Amino acid sequence: MAMAAVRGYGAARHVATISPRAAVAGRSFYTSRRVHMPAVKAFNKDEPAAPVLKTSIPGPKASEAIKELDAVFETRSINMIADYTQSAGNYIADPDGNVLLDVYAQIASIPVGYNNSELRKIASTPEMIDAIVNRPALGNFPSHNWAELLKSGVLKVAPKGLDNVYTAMAGSDANEIAYKAAFMYRRQQERGGPEVDFTAQELETVMNNQSPGSAQLSILSFKTSFHGRLFGCLSTTRSKPIHKLDIPAFDWPQATFPQLKYPLEQHVEENAKAEQASLDEVEHLIKTWHLPPAAVVVEPIQSEGGDNHASPAFFQKLRALTTKHNILLIVDEVQTGVGATGKFWAHDHWNLQEPPDMVTFSKKAQTAGYYYRSKDLRPNKPYRQFNTWMGDPSKVLLFRGIIDEIERHDLVNHTAKVGDYLYGKLESLAGKYPEHFQNLRGKGQGTFIAFDNPKRDAFLAKAKTFGINIGGSGAEAVRLRPMLIFQEHHADILIEALEKVAKAL
Amino acid sequence: MAMAAVRGYGAARHVATISPRAAVAGRSFYTSRRVHMPAVKAFNKDEPAAPVLKTSIPGPKASEAIKELDAVFETRSINMIADYTQSAGNYIADPDGNVLLDVYAQIASIPVGYNNSELRKIASTPEMIDAIVNRPALGNFPSHNWAELLKSGVLKVAPKGLDNVYTAMAGSDANEIAYKAAFMYRRQQERGGPEVDFTAQELETVMNNQSPGSAQLSILSFKTSFHGRLFGCLSTTRSKPIHKLDIPAFDWPQATFPQLKYPLEQHVEENAKAEQASLDEVEHLIKTWHLPPAAVVVEPIQSEGGDNHASPAFFQKLRALTTKHNILLIVDEVQTGVGATGKFWAHDHWNLQEPPDMVTFSKKAQTAGYYYRSKDLRPNKPYRQFNTWMGDPSKVLLFRGIIDEIERHDLVNHTAKVGDYLYGKLESLAGKYPEHFQNLRGKGQGTFIAFDNPKRDAFLAKAKTFGINIGGSGAEAVRLRPMLIFQEHHADILIEALEKVAKAL
C-alpha cells in the first residue's frame, strides 16, 4: 500500500479536481481548491479525500499496457487499466496516477473495498495458504474442517429457510448447477420418488443425448434477465443479443418481466396491471410450453438487463404460483446479494411465507454456489451433482472474512442508510435535470440505484473525466453499484460529479 | 507443517506397514520392519518414508466429520476426509493420523505435492495477497501487469503454435468457452467474414433462442469422452449415464473412439483398423449430421472414460481431417496437461504439422482456460466472449509458481523417466497376476498409466488398507495419477502395495 495521499476524513482539505473545460477538451489539468469534507472517517484510512486526475484515461502508461496485452488477450472490452496496488477502499487507481471514485466496483463484485486491511490479513493466514496450495476435490476429499468453515461463513448468512449449500466457482456455474438440481428433482418426482431407479431405456438414450434419458424439460426465465453465459444459463439470459448470437440454445420459455413506470406512486394501477400480466404469462407458459419448466429463475432486480424492479407482491405471487404448479423457484442473487440493497439478500425485502427453493450467489461473496431448501433437493444418488473442484475453500475463507467485516461495521444497515441519503440527492438532481436522470429507481433498496439517460454511453465516459468510475446496464441505464463501505461523503462527491456530467453533456 | 515422521530419503529405516491379515479383517495394527529405501531425496522433505495407517478409513474422527458435514453438504461421494495441514508431498493425511501415498492427487489436479514449500511462499507474497483481495473483472479492468503475469506464466508454456489465451475458472467452463469461440468463428465464416454484421433477423430470433440467431451447429465429440458437466460440455461428455441423466442435452454427434487392444505390439493391424474406422465415422458425421459440427473436441487420452489411448497417427489424421473440412480441432488437455504424460502437453507426443486450433487446460494448472491459435479466433466484437471475472489472477500466479517449480526440478522429464520405471514394474506384476492387471496401458506416457481389473471397486478400497489412495475411471480401469514429484521409491511402495491388493482380492 503505497497510497500516500490525503486521508478520507477530516473537516476541510485540499482536493485536486479536474477542470470541466479541460475534460471537455480531452486534456487534463488540475485546480486545487478547498472543499468541505464531512467529518466522518472513511472505512479505509488509505482512501484519498477525492478523485485524483493526472492524465486522460487511458493515460500513456495504461495505453502501453493495453497495447502489450492485446497481443495475447482480449482487450476490446477494457474499461480502464487498473493499478490495484495503489487502489484503496472506494477508489480505483490506474498506472498513470489517476484515482477514481469507483461506484461500479468490478461489475458489483467488490464488497468491502480495495485492499481492505482485514481481508489482507485473512489472505496471509496459514489457513488461507493451506487452502491455496492444497486445493481439494471437495466432493471426494473434503478437509476435516470443511463443515466448520461452511458453518462459520457461507451458511451463517444462508437465506431464511435454506440450510444446505452447494459451492461453485462463479455465478454462471452456480446457476447451471441449480438448474441441474431442478431437472433431477423434477424427473425424480415424475418417476415416483428418489427410490425409483432409472430405466434401461433412460440409461441407453441419455448416452445419445436423447429422451427419456435426457429430460425434455426447461427453465422458465424472464425477458431482459441475465443469468450468465454458459450454454444452459445463457439459454435463460435474455438481456442483449451480443451475449447470445451464434451460440446454440435450448428452446426454453420466457415471460415478460413487468416494466414498471416511474415515479411508482404516480403509476400504481398501471404497474399492478403489468405485474399481473407478467404472472398470467408465467402461468400460461407453465401450463402450455412444449418443454415443461422444472423451475422459474428470477433476479430480485434485473441487473444487467437495466435495473428492472418489481414489487414484493409480485414476487410473493410468483412464489405462490410456482408452489401451486409444483415448479421450483430459483432466485438468482448473484448481483443483488450480499448487502447492496440494504438487506443481506435482496429477496429479504419480499417477506415470503415460503422461502425460494434455491438461491444462487457469487460476485460480492467472491465464492459462488446455491443455497437450497432441504436435503430432498439433493439428487438421489452420488456423483449426479459433481465436478472436480466443486468450489474453492480459499474463496469460502475469503467470504467468511467479508461476512465478518460486514458484521463488524454493520454494513448492511449502513448501506440502507447511505442508500436513502444518495437516493434523496439523486431525486433532487432528477428534479433539476430531468432529461439526464430519468426513471430514477431503487428507493429503499440501499445503494442499488439506477436511472436512465438517453446519452448513456457518453454519460459514462464523461463521468471518468470528473473522477467517477460508473457502469451501465440495459439499453439506457446508468447503474450505481458502490461497495458496502460507500459513505455519505462519497455520495456527495458522486452527486457533484454527476451534476457536472449532466451540465457537460 | 506439523508432520513429525521419518523423512523420505536415506538408506534404510524403520517403516510402519499394515499387516495384510489385519487389513483383510478390516482392523489395523502395525508391524515395524527394516526396509531398504532408495538413497534419493524426496522433493518434499516433510514426506514420511512410507504410508502410516493408524485406523481403518474412515476412522472415528473422519466419521464424525462426515456426519457433521452431511447436514449441510453432499457427502455421499466422499472418498476420504483429509487433513491437509498434515499432508506433505505425495502423501495425503486424514484427521485420524492415517497418511496414504496419494496416486490420485485430487482427481489428477495436484501438480507438485501437498504443502509444496515454494508454492507456500508464493501464496503469501504481496502479489498474491493483492490478487486475492482485489479480484478484478479481467475483461473490463485488468491490472497494469496482467500481460506480464500471463507471459511469465500461462503463456510461457503455451502449446506450440498457440500464442493467445482466454482464462477461465475450471475445466468445464474452459471447454464451454472454447466451444463458444468455435461457434462464433464458424458463423462468422458463413456470414462472409468478421466485418459482416448480424442481420436484423439474427438479432431478433436470438432473443427467442431460435435460429438463425442461435446457431444450428454442433460440437462433435467421441464416445467414452469426458469434457465436463455444464450444459454445453455435458452434451459432449459421453462417459457415464450418471453424469448425464435428466439433464437436457443438445443433439450433437458422437464418433466411436478407437478401442485399442493390448499389448499394442500384438494387435497392430486390428488397432490400425479401429483407428481408421473411427476417422471414417468422424468424416461421415461431419458430412451428414443435421447440425453441422463447428469443432471436434478430443482428449489426448480419454481419462474419465477409462484411459483410452490412440496413436499419434490417429491424431495426425484427425487434424488433417478437420482441416480438410474447415472444422476446428479443440484438444481437451484438462486432465492430460501439465507434465504427467512425460511431455508438458500430451498432444506434444503427436508431432503435429499444424497445431490444434484450441487447447483447453485446468486441473494441475490450478487455473483454467484455452489457448488459441491466433487472434482471428477472437470473436469479431467485444463482449461476445465475456463474463464478470474471466478467470482469476490469484490462480494464474499459482500456475506461474507451478511452472517455475516444474522447470527448477525438470519435472516433466523426471516424470517421463519415473513413468518408464513404474511401467516396467507394472509389466512384471501383470505377468505375475494377469487377471488383476489387464490391458496395461500408458507406455511412454509418463506416469499416466492404467490397467483394468474386473473387481475394480474392491481393488480401490483394498488399496487404502495398504496405504495407497488410488482412483478409478471408466467401467473397470484403475488409473494412476501421481503428482509430478512422484519418484522411483514411491513407485516401489506403490508396486509392493498393489501386489498385496492382488493377493488379497
Matching residue, cell 482485489 = B134
The single-letter code of the amino acid at A132 is I
Residues 383-402 of B with CB under 8 A from A: 383-389, 394, 398
pLDDT of residue B13: 35
Domain check: are A369 and A432 in the same one? no
CA A329 to chain centre: 19
Point out the catalytic residue in the list A317, A343, A363, A364. A363
| Contact by Cβ (8 Å): A284, A321 | no
In order of B46, B49, B58, B163, B206, the CA distances from B88 in angstroms are 6, 11, 19, 35, 52
Say if B18 falls within a structural domain: no
Instruction: Domain count for chain B, please give it.
Output: 2
Do the Cβ atoms of B151 and A72 come within 8 Å? yes
Residues B400 and B418 in one domain: no
B360 touches B391 (CB < 8 A): no
In this complex, do B250 and A384 lie within 8 Å of one another by their Cβ atoms? Answer: no
Q: Are residues B341 and B206 in the same domain?
A: yes
pLDDT digits (tens, 9 = 90+) for A447-458: 999 999 999 999
B217-238 average pLDDT score: 98
Distance CA A34, CA A48 (A): 14
A226 flagged as catalytic:
yes
Buried b (16+ CB within 10 A) or exposed e, A158-185: bbeebebbbbbbbbbbbbbbbbbbbbbb
Interface contacts (A, B; CB < 8 Å): 384
- Asked if residue A212 has a cis previous peptide bond (ω within 30° of 0), the answer is yes
The beta-carbon neighbor of A140 closest among B78, B217, B235 is B78
Contact across the interface for A72 and B155, Cβ inside 8 Å: yes
CA-nearest of B315, B316, B349, B505 to B419 is B349
DSSP letter for A82, please.
B
Q: Provide the pLDDT for residue A341.
A: 98
Record: contact A120-B129, CB cut-off 8 A: yes
- Asked if B249 and B128 sit in the same domain, the reply is yes
Residues of B in Cβ contact (< 8 Å) with A186: 246
Catalytic residue among A46, A96, A307, A332: A332
Do A212 and A297 belong to one domain?
yes
Residue B229 domain-assigned (yes or no): yes
Across chain A, what does the average pLDDT equal? 92
Q: Please state, rounded to an integer, the average pLDDT across all residues of chain B.
A: 92
State how far the Cα of B261 lies from the Cα of B279, in Å rounded to an integer.
17
Q: Verify cis geometry, omega within 30 degrees of 0, for the bond prior to B142.
A: no
CB atoms inside a 10 Å sphere around CB B84: 21
| B58 reaches A (C-beta below 8 A) | no
Range of the domain at A168: 121-408
| Residue A498 near residue A450 (C-beta atoms within 8 A) | no
pLDDT 10s digits, A322-379? 999 999 999 999 999 999 999 999 999 999 999 999 999 999 999 999 999 877 899 9
Asked if B144 and A61 come within 8 Å (Cβ–Cβ), the reply is: yes
| pLDDT category of residue A41 using cuts at 50, 70 and 90 | confident
Query: At residue B365, does pLDDT exceed 50?
Result: yes
Q: What is the pLDDT of residue A370?
A: 98
pLDDT exceeds 70 at position B173: yes
Q: State pLDDT tens for residues A248-288.
A: 999 999 999 999 999 999 999 999 999 999 999 999 999 99
Does A503 qualify as catalytic in the annotation?
no
pLDDT digits (tens, 9 = 90+) for B327-352: 999 999 999 999 999 999 999 999 99
The rounded percent of chain B whose pLDDT value lies above 70 is 92
A10 torsion bin: left (phi>0), alpha (psi -120 to 50), beta (else): left
Cis peptide before B248 (omega within 30 of 0): no
Domain-located, residue A50: no
User: What pLDDT score does B410 carry?
Assistant: 98
Same domain, A299 and A354: yes
Per-residue pLDDT of A434-490, as tens digits, reads 999 999 999 999 999 999 999 999 999 999 999 999 999 999 999 999 999 999 999
Condensed to tens digits (0 to 9), the pLDDT of residues B450-504 reads 999 999 999 999 999 999 999 999 999 999 999 999 999 999 999 999 999 999 9
Residues B138 and B257 in one domain: yes
A39 confidence band (pLDDT: 50, 70, 90) = low
What's the CATH code of the domain at A241? 3.40.640.10
Instruction: Report the pLDDT value the prediction gives residue B373, as an integer from 0 to 100.
Output: 85
pTM (two decimals)? 0.93
Residues A434 and A398 in one domain: no
Last residue of a domain, one of A359, A387, A408: A408
Question: Residue ranges of the alpha helices (H) in A50-156?
Answer: 60-70, 105-108, 117-123, 126-133, 146-151
Instruction: List A17's β-bridge partners, or say none.
Output: A31
The predicted pLDDT at position A10 comes to 31
Residue-level pLDDT at B39:
52
Report the pLDDT value the prediction gives residue A376, as an integer from 0 to 100: 84
How sure is the predictor about B41, in pLDDT bands with cuts at 50, 70 and 90? confident
| Residue B184 located in a structural domain | yes
pLDDT at A374: 78
User: Mean of the pLDDT values across residues B354-362?
Assistant: 98
Distances (CA, A) of B93 to A128, A392, B88, B108: 18, 19, 8, 17
Chain A hits for B78, Cβ within 8 Å: 139-142
A154/A169 Cα distance (integer angstroms): 14
A440 and A311 belong to one structural domain: no
Cell of B230: 455444464
Interchain pair A247, B215: CB under 8 A: yes
Q: Is B105 on the interface with A (CB under 8 A)?
A: no
Assess whether A276 and A342 both reside in one domain: yes
Q: What is the pLDDT of residues B273-314, one digit of tens each?
A: 999 999 999 999 999 999 999 999 999 999 999 999 999 999
**Beta strand segments in B160-289, E:** 164-168, 218-222, 254-255
Are A395 and A293 in the same domain? yes
pLDDT at A14 over 90: no
Q: What is the mean pLDDT of residues A215-230?
A: 98
* A24 located within any domain: no
Question: Choosing among B109, B132, B251, B396, which should be mutated to test the A contact, i.e. which has the most A CBs within 10 A?
Answer: B132
Given A358, A392, A408, which residue is the final one in a domain? A408
Mean pLDDT, rounded, for A294-301 = 98
> What is the ipTM metric for this complex?
0.93
CB proximity B21 to A under 8 Å: no
Asked if residue B94 belongs to a domain, the reply is no
- Give residue A12's pLDDT band: very low, low, confident or very high (50, 70, 90): very low
Q: Answer yes or no: is A85 within a domain.
A: no
Question: How do residues A50-71 score in pLDDT, each as one tens digit?
Answer: 999 999 999 999 999 999 999 9
Question: Is B86 a domain residue?
Answer: no
Mutate to test the interface with B, among A46, A64, A66, A77 (most CBs of B within 10 A): A77
Burial grade of A32 (CB within 10 A; 0-12, 13-18, 19 or more):
exposed
pLDDT at A7: 35
Q: How confident is the model at residue A497 (pLDDT cuts 50, 70, 90)?
A: very high
Tell which residue, A12, A10, A23, has the closest CA to residue A53.
A23
Does B473 contact A at CB distance below 8 Å?
A: no
Same domain? B417 vs B348: no
What are the b/e assignments for A211-225, b being 16+ CB within 10 Å?
ebbbbebbbbbbbbb
Distance from CA of B374 to the nearest CA of A (A): 9
What would the pLDDT profile of B137-159 be if each residue is shown by its tens digit? 999 999 999 999 999 999 999 99
